Amino acid sequence: MSSNQELKQQIEYRVLGDTRIRAKNLTVEFQNNRVIIKGTVQSIAARDAAESDVWAVKGVKHIENRLQVEFPLGYIKPTDQTLKENLLQQIALDPDLYQENITCEVSDGKVLLQGAVGQLFKKFRATTIAKQTGGATEIKNSIAVVPTRSIEDRKIAHTITHHLQRVLGEKVNNIALEIENGHVILNGTVPDLHSFETTEDITRYTEGVLDIANNMVILS
């Protein structure tokens, strides 16, 4: 049995055995060392859960998630206007976002987040709330990050590197940072999924970071 066949079996076993996911017509393909998953699931949360399951399979280094959301039979999908109103209400009630300038548009369940926030984590927080709002099938986040004060790239790099070294130790030796005007690119290799996720989280929550491009490769 080839390594791809083994990976495919392990991925299918994890995804189809996950009670959070009701997958239909699940297919697993491989292209240029990238795992591509297709089919339908019942919600965006299930779509994210499937991706997490794939990442947890040893040997997976890149994922392209093409799963589509197909609501279960009998589910009453809210109108686009109701979805929009519900989402904006949840944002207004959120302690981290209620003072931010966030708007949205909804078309056939597809949500476009717009506006501006002061920190990157708030942009990700808005996406999380949108995913949890019933009736959403797809989220596009075009919120701009406009910090209240400017921080030099070298200070951002120092902060990220310092925290990575304290948390991951020698595991950060093969990670390279590129930063230009607050835009961070993560390059290099990490030994496992935990290091991959921790590096991205530390970068995401560092003050002054406006966005992240994660090009790191997991070796295991």
The structure's pTM equals: 0.85
Structural domains in the chain, sorted by start: 3-69 (3.30.1340.30), 80-145 (3.30.1340.30), 153-218 (3.30.1340.30)
Three-state DSSP state, 85: helix
Under 8 Å between Cβ of 182 and 156: yes
- Count the residues in the chain: 220
pLDDT digits over 32-78, tens only? Answer: 878 999 999 999 999 999 999 999 898 888 899 999 999 999 999 99
pLDDT digits over 136-190, tens only? Answer: 999 999 999 998 888 999 999 999 999 999 999 988 889 999 999 999 999 999 9
Rounded CA separation 9/107 (Å): 37
Which whole-number Å values give the CA distances from 71 to 43, 109, 136, 201, in the listed order? 7, 11, 10, 31
